[in-house]
Amino acid sequence: MSGSEMGFRPFDPESSFFSYPTSLHIEELSASIVRSHRETTQYRPEELQALRWKVFSREEIHAYQSKSVDEMWQHCAVRLTDAVQYVVEFAKRIPGFRQLCQNDQIALLKSGSMEVVLVRMSRMFNTENNTVFFDCKFAGTELFKSLACGDLIAALFDFAHNLCALRLTEQQIAVFTALVLLNADRPCLEDRERVQRVRRDVELALSHILHRDNQESLLHKLYQRVPVLKSLCALHIEKLRWFRQLYPLTVHSLFPPLYKELFV
Ligand code: MHQ
């Protein structure tokens, strides 16, 4: 079965690469992914821009720092799960994704949704003061002190800072995050070839928009971030194991079910 049921022609390099239908298809695919991204982000860029001056006061930061480790973990787990839910919605709107078997959709989301959350976090980042939009205001690393995983937080901020410095457009972020999800090397996939076929078209879409934007050099820089994403997710899982050993009941009874399903 192919994805043509929904106007999704698999790309065939042997046929007509530069022919009108194929480039139209890639054009449409890019537009569709960009629309899906726009419809599934918690904040629009202009909203974030307008909120840039909103930073936490010393008192507010102190209140977060005074939370207990388990309280702050639970709080962040809820925030993270909210963000993941938007990513799930994004995935479902990527042309071709819903045509994958349910097992493979879940496998891709299990291993990729956190990576997409972290790429999306760079949209919420202000490089001028190294803060991220969290709980409706901009927060520096010190706000997360009570999580007791400073190395993870520093690495996450570092990643967001570096990605933010590339000054990606919303279109570029949209197609890059689709590509992060459609990774045919993920564990537990039943039909890797089919994931690979969907991915190939999204790769063409990314090349297409970078060419159109005259920013082809970004392609290499974006691919360079992929292993970093992977290591950040591994570090998150490592910290979670540590936390779960200390507070098994918090994880068991207070963490969101989706968070547990994805990470525990
Ligand atoms: C928001 C933007 C945003 C900002 C900060 C999982 C856990 C309990 C602990 C992000 C490890 C810490 C958080 C910073 C970690 C995973 C925390 C620290 C969406 C949510 C998001 C991306 C937060 C998600 C959770 C993060 C990454 O709009």
Cβ neighbours of residue 48 closer than 8 Å, sequence gap 6 or more:
123, 124, 133
pLDDT by residue, tens only, the chain of 264 residues:
333 333 344 444 444 444 444 788 999 999 999 999 999 999 999 999 999 999 999 999 999 999 999 999 999 999 999 999 999 999 999 999 999 999 999 999 999 999 999 999 999 999 999 999 999 999 999 999 999 999 999 999 999 999 999 999 999 999 999 999 999 999 999 999 999 999 999 999 999 999 999 999 999 999 999 999 999 999 999 999 999 999 999 999 999 999 999 999
pLDDT 10s digits, 162-205: 999 999 999 999 999 999 999 999 999 999 999 999 999 999 99
Residue 230 and residue 235: Cα distance in Å, rounded?
9
User: Which candidate, 158, 123, 163, places its Cα nearest to that of 140?
Assistant: 158
* Under 8 Å between Cβ of 115 and 179: no
Among positive and negative, which fits the CA dihedral 229, 230, 234, 237? positive
For residue 134 and ligand 1, the question of a CB distance below 6 A is answered with yes
Using the mean position of ligand 1's atoms as its centre, give its distance from the Cα of residue 118 in Å.
Answer: 8
Residue nearest to atom 1 of ligand 1 (CA): 134
Among 68, 76, 138, 241, residue to substitute to test ligand 1 (most atoms within 8 Å of Cβ) = 76
Query: Could you report the predicted ipTM of this complex, rounded to two decimals?
Result: 0.95
CA angle 186, 192, 197 (to 5 degrees): 115
Specify the pTM: 0.91
pLDDT of residue 44: 95
DSSP symbol at 231: H
Using the mean position of ligand 1's atoms as its centre, give its distance from the Cα of residue 18 in Å.
Answer: 42
Using the mean position of ligand 1's atoms as its centre, give its distance from the Cα of residue 197 in Å.
Answer: 32
